[in-house]
Amino acid sequence: MRTLYVAEYPAIQHRHDNGDVVTVRLKRREGGFRATCEGCETEFIYRKPAPSPIAHFKSPLLPPIKGNWDGGDDDH
């Protein structure tokens, strides 16, 4: 049985060799969320994605955008 670590929750869709798309639901078992697909003998184990180690900043090239787009200030 092969093991795949996934970041999606609560359901995993995957394709079998014959082309069928199958959905399995992760359930809490053995200290984590797991699902087993008997058709392809695969165990899916959920792992929470880690935050990015790279700081992401707004691009200085993009124009500033105010939060309320329906403010009625359409006269430019």
Q: What is the pLDDT of residues 8-57, one digit of tens each?
A: 889 999 999 999 999 999 999 888 999 999 989 999 999 988 888 887 77
Q: Pick from 5, 44, 47, 41: which is nearest to 25 by CA?
A: 44
Q: Is the pTM of this model over 0.75?
A: no
What are the tokens at 50?
């880690």
What are the tokens at 37?
């697909």
Q: Across the beta sheet with 2-6, what order do the strands follow? A: 2-6, 42-46, 32-37, 27-29
The angle subtended at Cα 58 by Cα 56 and Cα 64, nearest 5°, is: 165
